[in-house]
Amino acid sequence: MNSLNNISQTLITLEVGKTQVLFILLAEDGSINRKGDGRPDCNDNNFFIGITKDKLFEQLKPFINEEMQDFLGKSFDIPEKKGRVCNLKILFLSGEAETGVQFYYGEFSQGPPTVFRNFTIKAIELTENWYQQQKQMILKSKPKETNTKPWWKLW
């Protein structure tokens, strides 16, 4: 992909110690998918898929810049890993073209370059309200416990 200008969707995944702690897909058509919050010990396995009228992808797009260009199409294994191994993948899709970057690093070591950290953080921030709303809908749909005794217990 020669240009980052025509990107129509992005996918971000983060694994810490082989456990997926973040999955975000954003597209210009409003499609949104999210799982997790990116924290190393995130154990939230709720995966939400939807469409939003908020222009989240358009708000994220300014964080896709030419500074990323030299990294695309490559995988980087950052040495001297401290802590669990982290695997950050960022994909960009444009029409039929696809490119991305992958970083392996230690949880307590130097991570990906700042431009990719900022991009990932911005994607989390932009999708957070939607993600929390989805989680609240799940909580509201669960039956509430009552303190009433079962019908067979009369005392």
118-128 pLDDT, tens per residue?
A: 999 999 999 99
- At 1, the pLDDT band (50, 70, 90 cuts) reads very low
Determine phi and psi for 27, rounding to 5 degrees.
-135, 160
- 1 falls within a domain: no
Question: Of 109, 104, 133, 101, which is closest to residue 10 (Cα–Cα)?
Answer: 101
Tally the domains of the chain: 1
- 151 falls within a domain: no
- 115 falls within a domain: yes
- 3 falls within a domain: no
Decide which of 97 and 131 is more confident: 131
Q: Which two tokens stand for residue 123?
A: 């994607």
- 30 falls within a domain: yes
Mean pLDDT of the chain: 89
Q: What is the mean pLDDT of residues 49-68?
A: 94
pLDDT computed for residue 82 by the predictor: 95
- 99 falls within a domain: yes
Residue 76 is part of which domain span? Answer: 9-141
Query: Residue 155 pLDDT > 60, yes or no?
Result: no
Per-residue pLDDT tens digits for 69-96: 999 999 999 999 999 999 999 999 988 7
Q: Within 13 A of 130's CA, how many CA atoms are on the CB side? A: 25
- 132 falls within a domain: yes
Query: Residue 139 pLDDT > 90, yes or no?
Result: no
Query: Residue 137 pLDDT > 90, yes or no?
Result: no
Q: What is the CATH number of the domain that holds 37?
A: 3.30.1560
Alpha-carbon span 113 to 29, nearest angstrom: 29
- 153 falls within a domain: no
Per-residue pLDDT tens digits for 4-34: 778 999 999 999 999 999 999 999 999 999 9
In sequence order, what are the beta bridge partners of 40? none
